[in-house]
Amino acid sequence: MTATGASLGSTAIEGKLRSPARPYGKKRSIMPGFGITFGFTIFYLCLIVLVPLSAVFVRSAGLGPAHFVDVGFSARAMASYRLSFGAAAAAAAVNSVFGLLIAWVLVRYEFPGRRLVSAMVDLPFALPTAVAGIALTAIYAPNGWLGQYLEPLGMKVAYTPLGVVVALVFVGLPFVVRSVEPVLADLGHDVEEAAASLGAGRVDTFTRVILPAIGPALLTGFALAFARGVGEYGSVIFIAGNMPFVSEVSPLLIVTQLEQYDYAGATAIASVMLVASFALLLVINLIQIWSRKRMAA
């Protein structure tokens, strides 16, 4: 292959290059009102999020450091963290896979009942979580619809950590589907066709073209589903069995403390959960910023 002798006119070569993204502060924006909107955002977040949350810390501070550690990091609390965070992560992972699949089907195929399926995806949002918990328990209990077939196979779902995961999969599904759906729709068919025209098979096209493009959105869905899972209470308590050290989630432990009028103890556990959740979500956000930056300058 040799270079052609023809050359492009200067316009084509020099073509307006967009300068690499500048930090926001240095760029004059055509959108006025940054000061006001930013100020309001901070104020609003303080009012709705920060103030109530700091109340948790203030309350727990009443315990004193030694007692705080005793309650917040007791063996039982630690076991509940492991379950809550572990199950939430597992459920979010499951939802990432199947949520992506559902989003894919909803975006890419036109089929009768598509709207119905789409509406079904949102049901876990609308359903009172206790209803979901009761329904799931009825299905997965050893004598339930599904449970009776799983039991002989040695699979126990209800009243085990696995049951917790099942409940969290249920409540977290919409987050992944709804995060991924618009990005997938926007991705367009033509990049897939371009990959195929370059000789890429389905697997290469998926792993190297589609997945990286929807990665940030998928991560958002994962983060939302995860966050929801960590805090989930209503649907879990019915199916979990709530055995301390085995199938007791942190939110339940907090409620238990409250029922014993141990408010400081409850807030200690809540504080630990808060910090851990915040740290994890921050990490996810940073990964997102990093991956977004690579795509759009």
Our finding on whether 296 is near other proteins (CB under 8 A) is yes
Looking at the Cβ atoms of 18 and 27, the one nearer to other proteins is 18
Our finding on whether 193 is near other proteins (CB under 8 A) is yes
Number of residues this chain uses to bind other proteins (CB under 8 A): 39
Residues of span 17-46 touching other proteins by CB under 8 A: 17-18, 20
Smallest Cα–Cα separation from 232: which of 145, 132, 148, 137? 132
Least Å from the CB of residue 23 to other proteins: 16
Looking at the Cβ atoms of 27 and 65, the one nearer to other proteins is 27
- Which region among 90-98, 187-195, 222-230, 273-281 touches other proteins (by CB under 8 A)? 187-195
Our finding on whether 2 is near other proteins (CB under 8 A) is yes
Least Å from the CB of residue 215 to other proteins: 8
Residue with token string 């339930």 = 144
Looking at the Cβ atoms of 63 and 195, the one nearer to other proteins is 195
Written as six digits, the tokens of 88 are: 């939430």
150-158 contacts: CB < 8 A, separation 24 or more? 157/239, 158/239, 158/241
Looking at the Cβ atoms of 122 and 204, the one nearer to other proteins is 204
Least Å from the CB of residue 210 to other proteins: 10
Least Å from the CB of residue 250 to other proteins: 37
The site for other proteins (CB under 8 A) is made up of 1-9, 11-13, 15-18, 20, 188, 190-191, 193-201, 204, 208-209, 212-213, 215, 294-297
